[in-house]
Amino acid sequence: MADLMEDPISGTTAAQGASKKAFPRKVRVVPESLKKFREIHEQAAAGGPPEKIAAQKAKGKLTARERIAYLVDEGSFQELGLLMETRCTDFGIKDKHIKGDGVITGFGTINGRHTAIFSEDFTQLGGSLGRTHADKISKLMDMAADARIPVIGILDSGGARIQEGVDSLDGYGEIFYRNTKYSGIVPQISVILGPCAGGAVYSPALTDFVFMVKGISNMFVTGPEVVKSATGEEVDFETLGGSMTHASKSGVCHFVANSEQDCFRQVKELMGFLPQNRFEKPPTQATKDPDDRKIALLEKLCEVDPRKPYRVNHIIWWLADDHKLLEVHHDFAKNIVIGFIRLGGQVVGVIANNPAHMAGALDINASDKAARFIRFLNSFNIPILTLVDVPGYWPGVAQEHGGIIRHGAKLLYAYSEATVPKVTLVLRKAYGGAYIAMSSKLMGGDINFSLPSAEIAVMGPRGAVEILYSRQIKEAKEEDREALRAKLASEYSGKFASPYQTASTGSIDEVIEPSHSRGRLISAFRMLIGKRRPGENERTGNIPL
């Protein structure tokens, strides 16, 4: 006798293995409760009214849900809090029954790795932040920290919701607190895709990286109208707080994109270099690029006059796996280059003086830029490669009055504090206090290399001879002075600025063959791979500098 199976809903039975013809499928009636659920769900997922969505599109902007779809792997997003509504009972807000309260929150995967994401919806009350809106974001951040996964915030908001009064301000406080609390524990990324004004700007400023899009993104504490009434200055939105303003002048923005789609591509690329949290190492990636690939460019660099400019990006590209560099802060403080590369498949953060801009000297902005990046790398177990070609600190009244001493000290502190593997290569010149600041041996550098033509000294040879031999130069005939300066500078360089002299005291570990630099760097980082286990260092947050 055939076994009987019972339908747990209807209670009917059917013989196991019975033919489908004997029991034809009946048309199933959708229960009213399921119909209601689907209707509410569809209305909530639709976002704002059609006219608001059309206005969003007219500005060349995607909707909040479209943005998430572009960012995450297809079908991976799991939403939380879809049906949450505002608790505000004033000004008719509650009567509108706006599901989600202007922000979409949830979890998805990016290239298979879990990430927490929130996306503000400008089509619902201008994406303004009320208490429920803030609670959704705060809860998401708490869950992300517990799950040890990154947080990506997509911001497109009119700011604090005036109708909710101080509750909206308290909501911002909740978010700022979590930005700080989880800093250095999980990576935090902000994507500005619309207005971001007033107190709202401080959450992105507390995160690790900020993305903006040309012609779409704006950030400012006070808008153009307030600026005009307070100071009399007339300025438009783009000039006051547009993407290039913050990328090149204020340093708030790390990456600028030409479109939203391009922006999400950049976010995905960055995520590929980052660990999920401070308890992991960044992901490795197989490469066919040989470890021992020769770099003829560095041989040529040994022949170049120390005063001649060049773009250090080319050196980085030749050192890196597959010639790939993800540069951070491309338009800000161009005298120093920072970014992510891979060496032998291992993620490495690179900090390099750039002689093509301000001779590669350190100034206020360069010190801040490099110091905060170093602190991020140290927080998330990413080794540090320092490429040195620095003539010193940039001189001038503006620098001194602006606090170059205070800002320069941040760079010293960041390098000294960092406990991740640190490898340094002196490319050409390293003079004075700037030599010390750029991850020198006694500042905690693990392995310090130098090219044969490098000059490591208290100051440049020409400047030194003007001080040491001033009388001798003055007494020489005018037509002979330049030749005398060159001769004395050469003698000084050979005796006091030679890398061999520095290596003899242990301040440099080894002078290396230029063309073998890539292989030597890869070997050094592999040897240091076990220097610090993830999460074992005393936690330090990535404080804005």
pLDDT digits (tens, 9 = 90+) for 456-479: 887 666 666 566 656 676 666 677
Task: State how far the Cα of 168 lies from the Cα of 188, in Å rounded to an integer.
Answer: 22
pLDDT given for residue 1 in this prediction: 45
Mean pLDDT, rounded, for 132-148: 96
Examine the domain organization and report whether 266 and 324 are in the same domain: no
**H-only helix segments in 5-82:** 32-45, 50-58, 64-71
Task: State how far the Cα of 354 lies from the Cα of 390, in Å rounded to an integer.
Answer: 8
pLDDT given for residue 277 in this prediction: 97
Mean pLDDT over each residue of the chain, to the nearest integer: 88
For residue 531, the number of C-alpha atoms closer than 13 Å in the C-beta half-sphere is 21
pLDDT given for residue 10 in this prediction: 55
Mean pLDDT, rounded, for 95-121: 89
Examine the domain organization and report whether 238 and 188 are in the same domain: yes
What CATH code is carried by the domain that includes residue 372? 3.90.226.10
What are the tokens at 260? 């939203």
What is the number of domains present in the chain?
Answer: 2
Mean pLDDT, rounded, for 400-415: 96
Q: What is the set of active-site residues?
A: 198-199, 433-434
pLDDT at 2 over 70: no
Mean pLDDT, rounded, for 147-151: 98
pLDDT at 21 over 60: no
**Residue 538: φ, ψ to 5°:** -65, 130
Inside any domain, residue 37: no
Inside any domain, residue 377: yes
User: Which of 159-173, 226-240, 441-455 is predicted with the least confidence, judged by mean pLDDT?
Assistant: 159-173
Domain boundary among 227, 254, 271: 271
Tokens 């029954």 correspond to 97
User: Which of 26-35, 147-156, 193-202, 514-523 is predicted with the least confidence, judged by mean pLDDT?
Assistant: 26-35
Inside any domain, residue 8: no
Mean pLDDT, rounded, for 206-218: 96
Domain that holds residue 520: 296-460+497-527
Examine the domain organization and report whether 201 and 127 are in the same domain: yes
pLDDT tens per residue, range 263-274: 999 999 999 999
pLDDT at 521 over 90: yes
User: Which of 69-78, 110-119, 123-132 is predicted with the least confidence, judged by mean pLDDT?
Assistant: 123-132
50 by Cβ neighbours in 10 Å (0-12 / 13-18 / 19+) ranks as exposed
Inside any domain, residue 545: no
429 by Cβ neighbours in 10 Å (0-12 / 13-18 / 19+) ranks as buried
Q: Does residue 204 contact residue 217 with C-beta atoms inside 8 Å?
A: no
Examine the domain organization and report whether 227 and 101 are in the same domain: yes
Task: State how far the Cα of 166 lies from the Cα of 20, in Å rounded to an integer.
Answer: 64
Inside any domain, residue 189: yes
For residue 240, the number of C-alpha atoms closer than 13 Å in the C-beta half-sphere is 19
Examine the domain organization and report whether 313 and 267 are in the same domain: no
Residue-wise over 89-125: b if at least 16 C-beta within 10 A, else e? eeeebeeeebbbbbbbbbbbbbeebbbbbbbbbbbbb
Q: Does residue 249 contact residue 243 with C-beta atoms inside 8 Å?
A: no
pLDDT at 79 over 80: yes
3-state secondary structure (DSSP) of residue 326: strand
Examine the domain organization and report whether 109 and 236 are in the same domain: yes
CB count, 10 Å around CB of 79? 18
User: Which of 42-46, 107-111, 189-193 is predicted with the least confidence, judged by mean pLDDT?
Assistant: 42-46
pLDDT given for residue 502 in this prediction: 87
Examine the domain organization and report whether 138 and 232 are in the same domain: yes
- Position with higher pLDDT, 290 vs 29: 290
Examine the domain organization and report whether 232 and 99 are in the same domain: yes
Inside any domain, residue 35: no
pLDDT at 528 over 80: yes
Inside any domain, residue 449: yes
pLDDT at 535 over 60: yes
Examine the domain organization and report whether 255 and 302 are in the same domain: no
Mean pLDDT, rounded, for 105-128: 93
Task: State how far the Cα of 326 lies from the Cα of 270, in Å rounded to an integer.
Answer: 7
| Contact residues for 414 (Cβ-Cβ < 8 A; gap 6+) | 370, 371, 372, 374, 375, 378
For residue 97, name the pLDDT band (cuts at 50, 70, 90). Answer: low
pLDDT at 134 over 70: yes
CA nearest 389: which of 324, 307, 447?
307
For residue 279, name the pLDDT band (cuts at 50, 70, 90). Answer: very high
pLDDT at 55 over 50: yes
Inter-CA distances, 253 with 67, 205, 207, 350, Å: 19, 9, 11, 19
Examine the domain organization and report whether 191 and 300 are in the same domain: no
Q: Does residue 425 contact residue 385 with C-beta atoms inside 8 Å?
A: yes
pLDDT given for residue 92 in this prediction: 58
CA nearest 525: which of 385, 340, 318?
385
pLDDT given for residue 493 in this prediction: 64
pLDDT given for residue 434 in this prediction: 92
CA nearest 508: which of 454, 459, 432?
454
Looking at the chain, the whole-number percentage of residues with pLDDT higher than 90 is 63
432 by Cβ neighbours in 10 Å (0-12 / 13-18 / 19+) ranks as middle
| Contact residues for 539 (Cβ-Cβ < 8 A; gap 6+) | 184, 185, 278, 379
pLDDT given for residue 15 in this prediction: 52
Mean pLDDT, rounded, for 414-443: 94
Examine the domain organization and report whether 443 and 509 are in the same domain: yes
pLDDT tens per residue, range 324-370: 999 999 999 999 999 999 999 999 999 999 999 999 999 999 999 99
Inside any domain, residue 289: no
Domain boundary among 271, 306, 325: 271
Examine the domain organization and report whether 138 and 267 are in the same domain: yes
User: Which of 31-40, 72-81, 147-156 is predicted with the least confidence, judged by mean pLDDT?
Assistant: 31-40
